[in-house]
């Protein structure tokens, strides 16, 4: 190994070590904040605002490092608190689960790759809808990853899936999506056709080409219909969910086709 490689590895270890120390400090601070919110010594709105800011910062910082599980847990925490309008006792109990896990990871907890999907699914699901919206819905152990840059579109799909009791997570970047799919093994991936440098077809082909992900159901969200030149190369097993009047039917048909129940 060259001196350059050794130096690079040492720098990476130093950066990760510093991040984990900062992660532990932030988790400890969030533990204190959560306790103050429970005791009402910190106003609920103020506490939730701090939680959202810190969760967003942790997620951003983790993305630059080779720590897949930390990335996924901080991503899920950011999604969870980002959806909250208020934090009552139930929400604080669920936030506590995230913080406890982050503390253990910051302390050096090791989790085998094979155990990551179950660990991520054990985290609380974000509250996409409320009981008032659809009535009491049974939460199912079904995870759908949405790779959808448009926030309005991702919310529409999330509401449809949440109405069926499915859990969702959203990423905007196809490269981030690849890593998440490899480590979390969602039950299905739905990707927009336009993803910037890559397309939904590119992402579908990449997932279909890897033995560890080729069995995961995949659908492209697009305004194109079958036979359009831009869909050439889409893996035969992939489904198509068209925007517009057909959206609901196409989504339902895709879920049924892949036996997502």
Could you report the per-residue pLDDT of 38-50, keeping only the tens digit for each? 999 999 899 999 9
Residue 9: which pLDDT band, with cuts at 50, 70 and 90? confident
Quick one: 60 exposed, middle or buried, by C-beta within 10 A (0-12, 13-18, 19+)?
exposed
What lies within 8 Å, CB to CB, of 170 at 6+ separation is 79, 145, 146, 147, 148, 154, 158
Q: Domain 3-121 falls in which CATH fold?
A: 1.20.120
- Integer CA distances (angstroms), 111 to 103, 104, 116, 118, 119, in order: 14, 11, 7, 11, 9
pTM score, whole prediction: 0.89
Contact between residue 140 and residue 166 where contact means Cβ atoms under 8 Å apart: yes
- Whether 220 shows a pLDDT value over 60: the answer reads yes
The predicted structure's pLDDT at residue 75 = 95
- Whether 1 shows a pLDDT value over 60: the answer reads no
**CA distance linking residue 3 with residue 85, whole number of Å:** 52
Mean pLDDT of 219-229: 94
Q: Are strands 239-242 and 188-192 parallel, antiparallel or unpaired?
A: unpaired
Quick one: 115 exposed, middle or buried, by C-beta within 10 A (0-12, 13-18, 19+)?
exposed
**CA distance linking residue 14 with residue 19, whole number of Å:** 9
Lowest average pLDDT, out of 36-45, 73-82, 120-129, 156-165, goes to 120-129
Mean pLDDT of the chain: 91
Taking every pair of Cα atoms in the chain, the longest distance, rounded to a whole number of angstroms, is 62
Quick one: 230 exposed, middle or buried, by C-beta within 10 A (0-12, 13-18, 19+)?
middle
Contact between residue 251 and residue 160 where contact means Cβ atoms under 8 Å apart: yes
Structure tokens at 107: 């302390």
The predicted structure's pLDDT at residue 129 = 56
Q: What is the CA radius of gyration of the chain?
A: 20
- Top CATH class of 131-257 equals alpha beta
Q: Where are the domains of the chain?
A: 3-121, 131-257
Could you report the per-residue pLDDT of 102-150, keeping only the tens digit for each? 999 999 899 999 999 999 999 999 887 544 455 567 788 899 999 999 9
């Amino acid at each position: 190994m060259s001196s350059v490689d050794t130096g690079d590895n040492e720098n990476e270890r130093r950066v990760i070590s510093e991040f984990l120390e900062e992660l532990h400090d932030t988790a400890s601070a969030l533990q204190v904040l959560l306790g103050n919110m429970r005791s009402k010594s910190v106003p609920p709105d103020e506490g939730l605002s701090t939680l959202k800011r810190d969760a967003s910062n942790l997620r951003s910082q983790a993305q630059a490092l080779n720590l897949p599980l930390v990335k996924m847990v901080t991503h899920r925490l950011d999604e969870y608190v980002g959806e909250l309008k208020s934090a009552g006792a139930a929400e604080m109990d669920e936030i506590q689960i995230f913080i406890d896990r982050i503390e253990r990871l910051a302390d050096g907890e090791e989790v085998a790759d094979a155990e990551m999907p179950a660990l991520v699914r054990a985290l609380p699901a974000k509250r996409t809808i409320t009981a008032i919206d659809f009535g009491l819905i049974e939460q199912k152990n079904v995870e759908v990853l949405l790779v959808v840059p448009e926030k309005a579109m991702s919310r529409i799909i999330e509401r449809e899936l949440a109405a069926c009791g499915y859990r969702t997570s959203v990423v905007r970047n196809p490269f981030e999506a690849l890593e998440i799919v490899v480590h979390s093994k969602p039950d299905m991936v739905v990707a927009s056709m336009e993803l910037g440098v890559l397309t939904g077809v590119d992402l579908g082909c990449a997932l279909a080409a890897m033995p560890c992900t080729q069995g995961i159901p995949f659908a492209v969200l697009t305004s194109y219909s079958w036979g359009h030149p831009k869909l050439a190369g889409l893996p035969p097993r992939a489904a198509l969910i068209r925007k517009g009047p057909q959206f609901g039917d196409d989504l339902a048909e895709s879920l049924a086709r892949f036996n997502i129940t």
